């Protein structure tokens, strides 16, 4: 049984390192004091002479000082005062639109079922689920005996978060015997989690405290040992450790350590829980080890030694290995091998130019392969005896997001699935493998009302400048023309475009606050994601990175040409690497956009990739290139790095966010970018920077705090398009009445 329910912190897509702020939580509550007058002009960052030279090229960087030189401690008063001044300017500029923000927040909140719960799922002797109570920010986690009995509260996130400015639950894992709950939490946004163990029979916390984790929590050897990974001072996860209940953490045994600074380590259990699988790798190369779960300090089996450019993952069934790998096809194949000859791989499913195999799961009587065909999700049931004969799970809509969801047991006759589209709310199904029938267990409720018949979704293909056809998913109201007085209305364009992450065409209740005001909402499936296969991803990284930016601009221009909107009425948003995208496209084609939101944007690309002392930088060279050793990589990165390419031109209104404790994109990247834009740009458009002084990469924690930040973003976009007060439409909840 797979008892690890979820892991909040991903092991990839990390762009920077984790700051350890010297401020207290009280100090970090930044922003305007009630006694301070509102500023009447934006802060202007001081320019301090600083330059660097690589490959014979000297670059001036007068805002370098905004990177606290005591980092990872952040205690430079000049830096902190500047960030607080930016926050004060943000508050002052948004103050006239406070009522609009509150209106948006309340309508977004009204679409959320406050006392909501997940569908219970059997795992061993218990059914597990979680609930939100009305008004609460965080979940409560429950279980009850599958054979019948009372519900038991096993973890209350609200109690854990009490008194904290930030709280995030990470890994959570119940022991096989059902007695112990291991969980990890982050209380400052730095993604350095503390693991604790709770005795579910007594309700007491054990004395065991494991600090500085960033991993799954895996029960082994009769539930007496917990496997985990510790993050080091440089925010690297390069190890697997064993903690025996009741012993000192200092005595924990390290069973694997990775020496290559570019690799990261993760671990999990095999399908039958009999093998601990230890995986290490970077963005293009993998290596996997196996060790018996009942003897985790025993001999480790290396499945196949690492080979640059070869990725693979492994699961085990009845001493037979199943391997997902790109060793002979860019879109991956499925192979198998015996435990005695783990490197002798025999093809089960050959790689395909048309079908992109994204993963597989092993169950007792069948296996499941997942992938994408023409960019759309596929779930296929296959027998072990005839794996080439696939039974696809069919879905009715032309564009959707679907996949396996919470299937913890090896012996299952029904599979739990998730499904949604841009017009269909998040839905949970059970799929009966024998009969092929789908049973809807739950669909996301929208208390204020939602009528799907008011909306339509399309899947378009727009030609980029190099002739490549870029998919676009779009949703809008059927009466959009009337809402906009018969003219082309505003359109919001979103994308990510990095690390092979495909943005799914899923449902969003917050999105309705734009769509019900006459917006179309489009997702550009640009290169850099793997929407159309692995090659689609490779065509947006390293020396082809600018395809990503060109695709986004060309999609925006194409939507204008098709009449979905007009130039200057396109709003756009993206975060992290998607924030880098925002910076690049407004440098390239600023007149296209009416307003842009860039969240925790990775915009100081060249400086970050040049700083090998930033712990995550070496691991990112495979994604972006190494400008230290390669003059070509240096020049190419310089040509698109948003901070370096800011120029004297008009820019669209811009909202930028940052997190002081962000472990992925350090706060100084957006701070430097905004400072340079203020200096150089030739327009009077709004430029706002909001830094969360007590949070990290994902912004504020808690469902209402996070929702309010979305309302702020939308309020900014509507303000800039002057839509907030000029457009009053019949919203979906009114239509439902």
* Rounded Cα gap, residues 585 and 593, in angstroms: 9
Active-site residue, from 64, 243, 492, 697: 697
CB of 215 within 8 A of CB of 229? yes
* Two tokens, residue 135: 């008004």
* Rounded Cα gap, residues 541 and 552, in angstroms: 15
* Two tokens, residue 642: 């948003």
State the DSSP H helix or E strand holding residue 696, giving kind and residue range, or none if neither.
Answer: none
Long-range contacts of range 413-421, CB-CB < 8 Å, 24 or more positions apart?
413/365, 415/368, 416/119, 416/121, 417/379, 417/393, 419/395, 420/444, 420/506, 420/507, 421/397, 421/457, 421/505, 421/506, 421/507
How many CB atoms sit inside 10 A of residue 97's CB? 18
Active-site residue, from 662, 686, 715, 733: 662
Q: Which among 325, 377, 391 has a CA at the least distance from the CA of 530?
A: 377
Active-site residue, from 448, 576, 686, 715: 576
* Rounded Cα gap, residues 488 and 560, in angstroms: 9
Question: Is 733 annotated as catalytic?
Answer: no
Question: Is 662 annotated as catalytic?
Answer: yes
Q: Which among 195, 142, 140, 137 has a CA at the least distance from the CA of 166?
A: 137
CB of 668 within 8 A of CB of 675? no
* Rounded Cα gap, residues 86 and 78, in angstroms: 12
- Sheet arrangement for strand 333-338: 312-317, 320-325, 333-338, 346-349
Residue for token pair 């204008």: 560
DSSP 724-736: TTT-----HHHHH
State the DSSP H helix or E strand holding residue 70, giving kind and residue range, or none if neither.
Answer: none
* Two tokens, residue 176: 């096989």
Question: Is 576 annotated as catalytic?
Answer: yes
Could you say which DSSP state residue 231 is in? B
Q: Any idea which residues carry the catalytic annotation?
A: 576, 662, 697
């Amino acid at each position: 049984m797979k008892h690890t329910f979820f892991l909040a912190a991903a092991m990839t897509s990390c762009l920077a390192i984790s700051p350890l702020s010297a401020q207290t939580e009280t100090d970090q509550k930044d922003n305007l004091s009630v006694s301070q007058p509102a500023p009447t002009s934006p802060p202007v960052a001081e320019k301090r002479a600083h330059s660097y030279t690589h490959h014979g090229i000297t670059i001036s960087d007068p805002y370098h000082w905004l990177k606290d030189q005591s980092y990872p401690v952040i205690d430079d008063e000049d830096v902190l005062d500047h960030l607080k001044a930016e926050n004060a300017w943000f508050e002052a500029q948004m103050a006239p639109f406070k009522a609009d923000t509150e209106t948006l927040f309340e309508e977004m909140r009204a679409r959320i079922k406050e006392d909501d719960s997940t569908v219970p799922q059997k795992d061993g002797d218990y059914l597990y689920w979680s609930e939100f109570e009305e008004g609460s920010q965080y979940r409560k986690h429950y279980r009850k005996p599958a054979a019948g009995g009372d519900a038991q509260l096993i973890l209350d996130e609200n109690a854990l978060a009490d008194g904290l400015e930030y709280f995030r639950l990470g890994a959570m894992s119940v022991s096989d015997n059902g007695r112990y709950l291991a969980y990890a939490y982050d209380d400052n946004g730095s993604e350095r989690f503390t693991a604790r163990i709770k005795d579910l029979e007594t309700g007491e916390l054990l004395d065991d405290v494991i600090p500085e984790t960033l991993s799954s929590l895996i029960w082994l050897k009769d539930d007496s040992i917990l496997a985990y990974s510790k993050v080091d001072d440089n925010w690297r996860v390069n190890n697997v450790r064993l903690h025996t209940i009741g012993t000192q953490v200092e005595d924990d045994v390290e069973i694997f350590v990775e020496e290559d600074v570019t690799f990261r380590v993760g671990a999990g259990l095999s399908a039958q829980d009999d093998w601990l699988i230890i995986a290490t790798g970077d963005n293009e190369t993998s290596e996997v080890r196996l060790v018996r779960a009942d003897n985790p300090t025993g001999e480790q089996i290396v499945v196949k030694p690492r080979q640059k450019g070869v990725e693979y993952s492994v699961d085990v069934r009845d001493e037979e290995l199943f391997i997902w790998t790109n060793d002979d096809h860019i879109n991956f194949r499925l192979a198998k091998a015996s435990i005695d000859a783990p490197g002798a791989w025999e093809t089960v499913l050959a790689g395909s130019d048309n079908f992109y195999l994204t993963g597989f799961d092993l169950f007792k009587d069948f296996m499941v392969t997942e992938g994408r065909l023409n960019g759309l999700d596929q779930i296929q049931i296959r027998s072990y005896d005839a794996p080439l004969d696939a039974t696809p799970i069919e879905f009715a809509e032309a564009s959707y997001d679907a996949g396996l969801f919470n299937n913890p047991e090896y012996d299952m006759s029904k599979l739990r699935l998730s499904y949604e589209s841009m017009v269909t709310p998040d839905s949970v199904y059970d799929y009966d493998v024998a009969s092929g029938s789908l049973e809807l267990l739950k669909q996301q409720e929208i208390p204020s009302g939602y009528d799907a018949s008011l909306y339509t979704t399309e899947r378009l293909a727009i030609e980029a400048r190099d002739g490549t056809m870029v998919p676009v998913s779009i949703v809008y109201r059927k009466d959009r023309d009337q809402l906009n007085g018969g003219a082309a209305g505003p359109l919001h364009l979103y994308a990510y475009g990095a690390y092979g992450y495909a943005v799914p065409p899923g449902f969003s209740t917050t999105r309705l606050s734009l769509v019900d005001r006459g917006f179309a909402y489009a997702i550009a499936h640009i290169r850099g994601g793997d929407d159309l296969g692995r090659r689609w991803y490779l065509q947006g990284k390293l020396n082809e990175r600018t395809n990503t930016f060109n695709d986004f601009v060309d999609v925006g221009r194409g939507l204008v040409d098709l009449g979905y909107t007009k130039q200057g009425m396109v709003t756009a948003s993206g975060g992290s690497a998607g924030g880098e995208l925002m910076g690049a496209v407004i440098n390239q084609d600023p007149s296209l956009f009416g307003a842009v939101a860039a969240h925790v944007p990775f915009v100081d690309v060249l400086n970050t990739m040049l700083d090998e002392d930033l712990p995550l930088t070496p691991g990112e060279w495979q994604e972006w290139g190494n400008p230290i050793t390669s003059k070509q990589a240096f020049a190419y990165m310089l040509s698109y790095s948003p901070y370096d390419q800011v120029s004297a031109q008009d820019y669209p209104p811009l909202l930028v966010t940052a997190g002081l404790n962000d472990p992925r994109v350090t706060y100084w990247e957006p701070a430097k970018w905004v400072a340079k834009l203020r200096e150089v740009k030739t327009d009077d458009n709004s430029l706002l920077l909001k830094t969360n002084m007590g949070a990290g990469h994902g912004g504020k924690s808690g469902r209402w705090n996070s929702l309010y930040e979305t309302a702020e973003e939308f309020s900014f976009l509507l303000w800039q398009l002057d839509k907030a007060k000029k457009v009053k439409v019949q919203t979906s909840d009114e239509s439902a009445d």
